[in-house]
Amino acid sequence: MLGVIGGSGLYDIEGIEDRRAVQVQSPFGAPSDAITVGRLGGIDIAFLPRHGAGHRLSPTDINYRANIDALKRLGVTDILSMSACGSFREGLPPGTFVIVDQFIDRTFAREKSFFGKGLVAHVSVADPVCTRLGDLVEEAGDFAEVTLHRGGTYLAMEGPQFSTRAESHLYRSWGCDVIGMTNMPEAKLAREAEICYASVAMVTDFDCWHEQHGAVEVAAIVEVMHRNAQAARSLVKGIAPLLAANRPHVCPHGCDRALEHALITPPEARDPVLVARLDAVAGRLLG
């Protein structure tokens, strides 16, 4: 089942058949909104607008744990994350879609793990996205006629303010390619939930480092965002049939087995309350 998390400007996916809105109850709280489920391109699909209908939630206010837990409860096996971002590179102008492969997490006001006191787990996020899904996104880009760039480091900032000019230059010096506010801890939580995850960062602006473009202006971002959203819908329509035809039983990169050696707390010392909350995320091992 393909789960699509829509970022700024992407609040719906056209062409979903047998669609219905589902309110999923999560022990981690309320997801961003009702989840639209149905069929697209021969595969089951679940669409969740990250910021909620009407863009009600700031990046900090999003309940990332509830979002990932809810998608897992619905049976999602693969997540395609779409998000607006700024660019740190001349070669990644507005309108470019970047298939992200690395992250630097600078967020600080968010719950970043399903695990904690009473049940400790440490998953590897050395390679935080699924290469197999990235390959399918790249292939679907031809169908969607989207300008895709394969590979890039995403700097996740807390927000909701945009960068200072000094920060923008610093992140460029670190080798970052794009900057956004929402892919962390989302990617980490998807790994904990053993869901394959791919991130497509949709460039809307040059942040504020670019001398010829000046400060980030929301009005200009919104204009590009609307154009990107239509291209994103085409990309989702392209990847759905590819995933339906090429989904292996197990992920060759081990995304769906990330917890097998991650649980540190022995069974006799685990908090039963936390174990119960993890029935969807880690039920495969805790059940």
Angle 227-240-12 from CA coordinates, rounded to 5°: 45
Residues 188 and 194: their CA atoms lie apart, in Å, by 10
Binding residues for substrate: 181, 205-207
Based on the number of CB atoms within 10 Å of its own CB, is 166 exposed (0-12), middle (13-18) or buried (19 or more)?
exposed
Beta strands in 2-143 (DSSP E): 2-6, 17-22, 35-40, 43-49, 78-87, 97-100, 102-105
CA distances from 59 to 46, 146, 172, 274 (A): 21, 26, 22, 26
Binding residues for phosphate: 8, 50-51, 83-84, 182
DSSP string covering 89-113: STTS-TT-EEEE-EEEE---SS---
Active site residue 207: yes
Output phi, psi for 81, to 5 deg: -95, 125
CA distances from 97 to 44, 94, 142, 280, 281 (A): 24, 9, 12, 32, 30
Contacts (Cβ under 8 Å, ≥6 apart) of 238:
139, 140, 141, 142, 143, 144
Active site residue 205: yes
Binding residues: 8, 50-51, 83-84, 181-182, 205-207
Output phi, psi for 195, to 5 deg: -110, 130
- Give the bridge partners for 82, in sequence order: 200
Active-site position among 101, 105, 207, 256:
207
Active-site position among 69, 101, 205, 256:
205
Contacts (Cβ under 8 Å, ≥6 apart) of 244:
41, 42, 43
* Active site residues per annotation: 205, 207
